[in-house]
Amino acid sequence: MPDGTHDSHRHSHQGDRKRVGLALALTVSFMVVEAAGGLISGSLALLADAGHMLADSGALALALAGFHFAARPSDERRSYGYGRAQVLAAFANGVMLLVVAAWIIAEAAERFVAGSQIAAIPMLIVAIAGLIANLAAFRILHGGDRHQSLNLRGVLLHVAGDILGSLAAIIAALVIIFGGWTLIDPLLSLLVAALLLFGAIDLIRRSGHILLEGAPETAEADDIRKRLLAALPEIEDVHHIHVWSLTEKHPLVTLHVRVAGSADGDAALSRIKAFLDETYGIAHATVQLERGPCPDR
């Protein structure tokens, strides 16, 4: 990989680490305020959001650890380095989102049965302040490479859930103040939990796919075989294709290629690697050239 690309990735990770660190400090600071407000007002929506912010603090700390380990160089025992620490952090954050959503659902069910007394005015004040804090944290994180980094996407989902929780608490407080309907509090909490479940399942699915060595959506084995055969006339067959991702933006492939007996092997190898890089963004490919039957069973 060119040095410029390494520098770009390093600066991107450093910027993401700073953003996550600032968001962590903001989240921890306001979590205490929101938890106190939820206890004083009796609002499940506020307590749910405070609980979510507690999970966010762990998620942000986990994301920081993921960026830290990903920056470590490779060694003899880990020849690919520690880049997958980010994917592990994303998977763990998805599981944490599931736990938070399950807790909100359980608390809401209890409130539906037992009911509760809610001090709507303190609830509204704290919820508005929480929304401002969560929007600030989201703005800090939003400048990162969210479309490619599962690690950053995971913490963005946590903070987005906090924004939804604050909005739900504001709406619930207004309904209670002007309509006196306290069941709106657990009802909107269930809506937030449902949205969190959707985001958590998607995050777990994407990170789990990478951890299970699944093929990237943009580079499937059968497609690679067909395109190589069509693009390079000296290739007679492509087989034993294994394509996976080290991280969400670092695809890898190994494959066997049988070339014609008269073909220049070095030239064919260079063309194959260039084709994989230009077509699929696979800069690291291990290619076994063959001129007869495959030696592997």
Residue 154's alpha-carbon distances to 45, 55, 88, 96, 229, in angstroms, are 22, 12, 11, 10, 39
User: Using N-to-C axis directions, what is the helix angle for 44-70 and 120-142, rounded to 10°?
Assistant: 20
Relative to beta strand 235-247, strand 250-259 is antiparallel
Judge whether residue 7 has pLDDT over 70. no
Q: Which residue has the higher pLDDT, 242 or 4?
A: 242
Average pLDDT in the 244-256 region?
87
Judge whether residue 2 has pLDDT over 50. no
pLDDT band at 133 (very low <50, low <70, confident <90, very high): confident
> In the chain, which residues fall in CATH 3.30.70.1350?
221-290
Determine the CATH number of domain 3-211.
Answer: 1.20.1510.10
Cβ pair 149, 86 in contact under 8 A: yes
What type of residue sits at position 19? R
Q: Beta-strand (E) ranges in the chain?
A: 235-247, 250-259, 284-290
Q: Which residue has the higher pLDDT, 63 or 171?
A: 171
Judge whether residue 1 has pLDDT over 50. no
Cβ pair 29, 110 in contact under 8 A: no
Relative to beta strand 284-290, strand 250-259 is parallel
Tell me what pLDDT residue 8 has. Answer: 45
| Residue 60, CA atoms < 13 Å, CB-side half-sphere | 26
Which two three-digit tokens encode residue 224? Answer: 């690679």
Furthest-apart CA atoms within the chain: distance in Å: 85
Helix (H) or strand (E) holding 116, with range, is none
Tell me what pLDDT residue 120 has. Answer: 83
Judge whether residue 62 has pLDDT over 50. yes
Average pLDDT in the 152-157 region?
75
Tell me what pLDDT residue 45 has. Answer: 66
Q: Is the pTM of this model over 0.75?
A: no
The residues with which 237 forms a beta bridge, in sequence order, are: 258
DSSP state of 252: E
Q: How far apart are CA 52 and CA 101, in angstroms?
A: 8
Judge whether residue 237 has pLDDT over 80. yes
The residues with which 242 forms a beta bridge, in sequence order, are: 254
Judge whether residue 47 has pLDDT over 80. no
Number of Cβ atoms within 10 Å of the Cβ of 180:
9
Inter-residue long-range contacts of 272-276, CB under 8 Å, 24+ positions, other chains counted: 272/228, 272/232, 272/235, 275/227, 275/228, 275/231, 275/232, 276/224
pLDDT band at 15 (very low <50, low <70, confident <90, very high): low
Q: Give per-residue pLDDT as tens, 21-46.
A: 788 878 777 777 777 777 777 776 67
Please determine, looking at this structure, whether the domain spanning 221-290 carries the CATH number 3.50.50.60: no
Tell me what pLDDT residue 14 has. Answer: 63
pLDDT band at 146 (very low <50, low <70, confident <90, very high): very low
Query: In 3D, which of 94, 149, 103, 118 has the Cα closest to residue 43?
Result: 118
Judge whether residue 155 has pLDDT over 90. no
> In the chain, which residues fall in CATH 1.20.1510.10?
3-211
pLDDT band at 184 (very low <50, low <70, confident <90, very high): confident
Average pLDDT in the 173-193 region?
85
Residue 180, φ and ψ in degrees, nearest 5: 75, 10
- As a whole number, the mean pLDDT across the chain is 80
Most confident of 31-40, 69-78, 80-89, 167-176: 167-176
Stretch among 110-114, 186-190, 242-246 having the lowest mean pLDDT: 110-114
Tell me what pLDDT residue 288 has. Answer: 94
The residues with which 245 forms a beta bridge, in sequence order, are: 251
Q: Which residue has the higher pLDDT, 70 or 18?
A: 18
3-state secondary structure 146-206: CCCCHHHHHHHHHHHHHHHHHHHHHHHHHHHHHHCCCCHHHHHHHHHHHHHHHHHHHHHHH
